[in-house]
Structure 1
Amino acid sequence: MQRYAVFGSPIGHSQSPRIHAAFAKQCGIAMNYDAIEAGHADFAAKLAASGVRGANVTLPLKEDAFALCMGNASTRAQRAGAANTLIRDGDSWRGDNTDGSGLVRDLTERHGLDLRERRVLLLGAGGAARGVAPALLDAGIHSLYVANRTLARAEALADALGEPGRVHPRSLDDLARLGEFDLLINATSATRGGSLPTLPMALAGRRSAAVDLSYGEAAVPFLAWARAAGCTQALDGLGMLVEQAAESFLLWHGLRPETEAVYAELRARNDGLVTAD
């Protein structure tokens, strides 16, 4: 029986075990997939002791995971400076980042968004933001504004992306002067505590779409703001979660599972707390 797990904190809410159990059943693979609580101080030790063949990594450990596999990381993980997927490679780990491809697939194929030439605001500059930023640029967006409470972290992400003509670091204090965006993405962890940075309504227009990379209760404050601001679509991160999981499953097993039925089941289980459209 192959063993896999997701590491993070908090982790009790994670839908990843349910998703990977459905994928394994669909593909006829015998595997266990657990959720393991871990923080910065004990992540490496718990990963080593777990005996897993592969792992997903969520908040707040994606940059920690990248540090563990820095010499054996995919181009996607290197560009992001963060890893959300680990694959055992002998006595060490190979790292990848499937967040960006999962987000783009969800937005374009499930929700019909055309990302080409779009003006995008990315709130946050941590591991979640780092994971999706390169894929957004590759999808053909016009420009990416990275707004973070600490400007230095936004500048560090912009430097890592290496496209100064398209990527613009900003402080949250600058938001009132940035104008309207076609796509607004919340990649901060602030809403997990029920709070949301002050966001001017002028950031969104009638054709704007908004996405929170979280799902469930954590996504409620930002999506409520998006609807009040008049966004045409207000999406949570459940679809992205399923799509990035499918990409991780492919890396581990060489098979890409079908995602739509799994997404539909999770959407129904979400009890209408956060609607997808």
Structure 2
Amino acid sequence: SYACWKLFKANNIGFHMNEDDVFIDLDKELTDEELLQAELYTNEIIWENRPVHISYMDSTEAVKLKDKMRKFNSKLTGTLRIVSVEDADICTCCGTHPPFTGMLGSVKVIRHEKHKGGCRVEFVCGRRALLDADAKNSTLLSVAASLSVKPEQVPAAVNKQKNDLLAQLDIAKSKLLKIEEEKLQETYAAAPVNADGVKVLALPMEGHDAKDIKAFLPKVTALKNTLSLLVAVQPERISYAVALGADTAGDCRIVIKLLNEAFGGRGGGKSDCAQGGADYCADWQEKLQSVVETLK
């Protein structure tokens, strides 16, 4: 907290500690480079093994130190406990402190994230910092060996594999969408017609996701006098959409409610198009068919 305040004027506005690690909340977002500087600054103070002083003084005397403190609570009264690291942090605190900074060993920031306009920083100390570094180094060496690269080359190798996989996935999805287009014609021809003379077209799209449905919508909205139900099925998720074709009367908001009830999902939209989703269920085909029967 002191290093972040001293170097970057970031104030500590929150503190959380559990058995394994510590979190501090700062009122300012810091970059990776800034947090690295704060971490090194902190460890330099630790390694210099500076003494930690504890003193007691009346709040009226403590006021004189407020310009040296990173945080001073003017509401505190009576005798205050002042903890200070020599030539560094000074604060009011009732917690336990070592007599020398060197007893901490080291401090290692392990992650940070945006939090309420600032950032939350998580770090580990002492033996935990060493064990955390050992575990992560072991993981890095294992990944490097599996990729047949040096440890410092792991990020680039992983990104390459990821990009290669995404490229292959795009090709596969493109081929699947072509198959769905062919299936669309057959499904359209066999689609039942409801009492209003509107075709009710239900098109299951196994292996696809919500993005694929969105890309496929223009295909069905071009169909005249048709109410289309697109259902993308994946191992953990089912996504669905309802769309009215050209010159088709109806309200997709009513239909999306039927799908939400059938699948136990959530969704909404406009009268001409609506989308939703739910957790995967093994009987999704029966549930889809029940909605089609209702619409018929």
Category of TM-score, reference length = shorter chain: under 0.3
Q: How high is the TM-score relative to the length of structure 2?
A: 0.23
**Higher relative contact order at CA 8 Å, sep ≥6: structure 1 or structure 2?**
1
Structure with the larger strand share: 2
Q: With structure 1 as the length reference, what TM-score do the two structures score?
A: 0.24
